[in-house]
Amino acid sequence: MGIITITTTAFNDQKPGTSGLRKKVTVFQQPHYLENFVQSTFDSLNDIQGKTLVVGGDGRFYNEQAIQIILKMAAANGFKRAIVGQNGLLSTPAASCIIRKYKAFGGIILSASHNPAGPNGDFGIKYNVSNGGPAPENITDAIFANTQNITEYQTIDASDVNLNEIGSQFLADMTIDIIDPVEDYALLMADLFDFDAIRGLLSNKNFNMRFDAMHAITGPYAKDILEKCLGAVEGTVINGIPLTDFGGGHPDPNLTYAEELVTEMFSDNAPTLGAASDGDGDRNMILGANFFVTPSDSLAVMAANADCIPAYKNGLSGIARSMPTSQAPDRVAEKLGIECHETPTGWKFFGNLLDADRATLCGEESFGTGSNHIREKDGLWAVLYWLNILAVRKQSVAEIVGQHWQEYGRNYYTRHDYEAIPSDIAKQLMADVELKLPNLVGQTLAGRKVTYADNFSYTDPVDNSVSSNQGLRIGFDDGARIVLRLSGTGTEGATLRVYIESYENKPDKLQQDTQSALKELIVLAEALAEITTRTGRTQPTVIT
Ligand code: G1P
Ligand code: ZN
């Protein structure tokens, strides 16, 4: 089994986005496409000789083929050991957990998160570093630079690895350990939460729960932890078998795409708690009976109730949220007297804060919540966190969130997405809004005064690195905000995201319908950006 060097030519479209490289499966299937990116990744890392690499993915179409290619290249490039989830499966949070637990040098995760899968769907690859988190920008920039100059890559001439069999195998000089994808992650969860209290809750006849795995990776994790270990009745987990095309669905846990769950949770016989996770298991949606918890509120409520959870009851060092996430968590941080950080969109920006213990809980409005237990957001962890709160407080989800609003006020929040807009139109729209920003400051719009309007730039307080051009913000004197940015994860044209928020603390105004409460700001955002005129769209593709 000798190492072979294959001659290749560069592809010009391998720039990693918000979360790794995502493209259509058919793009990844082009000869040398995946190989170029993997070699460019290895070449961006210092001294991989003799190191350990974790490899796994969300099980979507092309997962196993990609893993065979990656393992051969890892062996040829000098890795000593690869830890691989059985059948090539690892949720993103489990991969992060395993990188940390086994002190691996890094990991390759194959996923396009919540994007649809199958032969005509999307595929993705990303590299995570030794803290278990997504590679920071200096590495993703180096990877991209390498992809533009690559002329050859190394692999070995060997037969495929048996991904099905737990245990050790060899590929040239590299050991491959095929492990149970769930076990290490489940042990970590048992360490963080009060499993006995959750068992008590789940055995209570008045409590029932539904978890929608959306035919994606969290099925085996949820069945094992919720049903087998914590005693939730069989059938609590629905759509629990991972399918290579995610059942033809769009495994994004939000009110639009988690339709089956949402219908049940807003019915007469709704379960007490509803939850869903995404393609690779890092997102979560939390619902009570006839009640939706916005991800921003979820982070705020979790922070305010940290004393219910064994792992966090001694206090939080800080909270971090992405810039477009609502400011609800900021009020909790203020009350707790802890740091609150506003970072650009993307989990990679939380890594330094978590490593430096400047934040314990982190979250994004895009249904992502997590903590310092790993360095990725974590869907099932958030569900267990909520179960633990419910077990301690013995109230409904709606009561807990309602009381939170009474205490802190409510941040009404919505995101309007306009998907698959021609890229040039989207870029021009953003450029033109940016030009308008300086003149907006001081003006009264939608009945409020604009106090700032800028293009968000972030200076990391740990390493002082600067990330600019991270979204356009318009802030008002009453705490309201309009934020516009273009998605960095889409694979078709451009997706414009418009984030809208307002703050309300009058006790009798806390139960309004979100879209109505934000109406004026929604109309203002549309007018400022001239969305309909420029894109022809009269309404968003998705509202969350
Ligand atoms: C989206 C979300 C962002 C999240 C990312 C990866 O990125 O908005 O919060 O970190 O997916 O899950 P975007 O498409 O907006 O760049
Ligand atoms: Zn995801």
pLDDT tens across 298-351, in order?
Answer: 999 999 999 999 999 999 999 999 999 999 999 999 999 999 999 999 988 999
Please give the span between the terminal C-alpha atoms of the chain, in angstroms, as a whole number: 52
- pLDDT tens by residue, 416-433: 999 999 999 999 999 999
The mean pLDDT of 212-219, rounded to a whole number, is 97
pLDDT bucket at 474, cuts 50 / 70 / 90: very high
Residue 18 has pLDDT above 80, yes or no: no
Atom index in ligand 1 nearest the CA of residue 365 equals: 9
Rounded to 10 degrees, the C-alpha dihedral 159/161/162/166 comes to 150
Q: Check residue 239 and give its pLDDT.
A: 96
Q: Check residue 19 and give its pLDDT.
A: 80
Q: Check residue 35 and give its pLDDT.
A: 98
Residue 508 has pLDDT above 80, yes or no: yes
How many angstroms separate the alpha carbon of residue 325 from the centre of ligand 1? 11
Higher-pLDDT residue of 450, 2:
450
Structural contact between residues 54 and 239, judged by C-beta atoms closer than 8 angstroms: no
Of all ligands present, the nearest one to the C-alpha of 281 is 2
Q: Check residue 282 and give its pLDDT.
A: 97
Tell me the C-alpha distance between 196 and 175, whole Å. 38
* Residue 40 a catalytic site member: no
| CB-facing half-sphere around the CA of 180: CA atoms within 13 A | 9
Tell me the C-alpha distance between 326 and 308, whole Å. 23
Global pTM?
0.94
Ligand 1 close to Cβ of residue 284 (< 6 A): no
Structural contact between residues 274 and 290, judged by C-beta atoms closer than 8 angstroms: no
Distances (CA, A) of 100 to 42, 64, 103, 187, 384: 19, 23, 5, 13, 21
Nearest alpha carbon, ligand 1 atom 8: 366
How many angstroms separate the alpha carbon of residue 383 from the centre of ligand 1? 20
Tell me the C-alpha distance between 390 and 271, whole Å. 13
**38 SS3 class:** helix
- pLDDT tens by residue, 92-127: 999 999 999 999 999 999 999 999 999 999 999 999
Q: Check residue 492 and give its pLDDT.
A: 79
Distances (CA, A) of 339 to 330, 360, 371, 373: 9, 10, 15, 18
The mean pLDDT of 276-294, rounded to a whole number, is 97
**In the predicted model, what is the mean pLDDT of the chain?**
96
**494 SS3 class:** strand
- CATH class for the domain made up of 410-543: alpha beta
- pLDDT tens by residue, 445-470: 989 999 999 999 999 999 999 999 99
Tell me the C-alpha distance between 285 and 255, whole Å. 9
Q: Check residue 192 and give its pLDDT.
A: 98
Ligand 1 close to Cβ of residue 325 (< 6 A): no
Q: What is the DSSP string of 307-340?
A: GGSGGGTT--SEEEEETTS-SHHHHHHHHHT-EE
- CATH class for the domain made up of 185-408: alpha beta
CATH 3.40.120.10 location in the chain: 3-181, 185-408
Ligand 1 close to Cβ of residue 19 (< 6 A): yes
Nearest alpha carbon, ligand 1 atom 13: 487
Ligand 1 close to Cβ of residue 470 (< 6 A): no
pLDDT bucket at 279, cuts 50 / 70 / 90: very high
Ligand 1 close to Cβ of residue 147 (< 6 A): no
- pLDDT tens by residue, 37-63: 999 999 999 889 999 999 999 999 999
Tell me the C-alpha distance between 343 and 435, whole Å. 23
How many angstroms separate the alpha carbon of residue 116 from the centre of ligand 2? 11
- pLDDT tens by residue, 192-202: 999 999 999 99
Residue 182 has pLDDT above 80, yes or no: yes
Q: Check residue 1 and give its pLDDT.
A: 63
Given the residues 113, 326, 487, 502, select the one marked as catalytic: 113
Residue 7 has pLDDT above 90, yes or no: yes
Structural contact between residues 362 and 354, judged by C-beta atoms closer than 8 angstroms: yes
> What is the layout of strands, in order, in the sheet containing 472-476?
444-445, 448-455, 472-476, 481-486, 494-504, 410-421, 542-543
How many angstroms separate the alpha carbon of residue 507 from the centre of ligand 1? 33
Tell me the C-alpha distance between 408 and 427, whole Å. 37
- CATH class for the domain made up of 3-181: alpha beta
Tell me the C-alpha distance between 146 and 414, whole Å. 39
CATH 3.30.310.50 location in the chain: 410-543
Tell me the C-alpha distance between 280 and 251, whole Å. 9
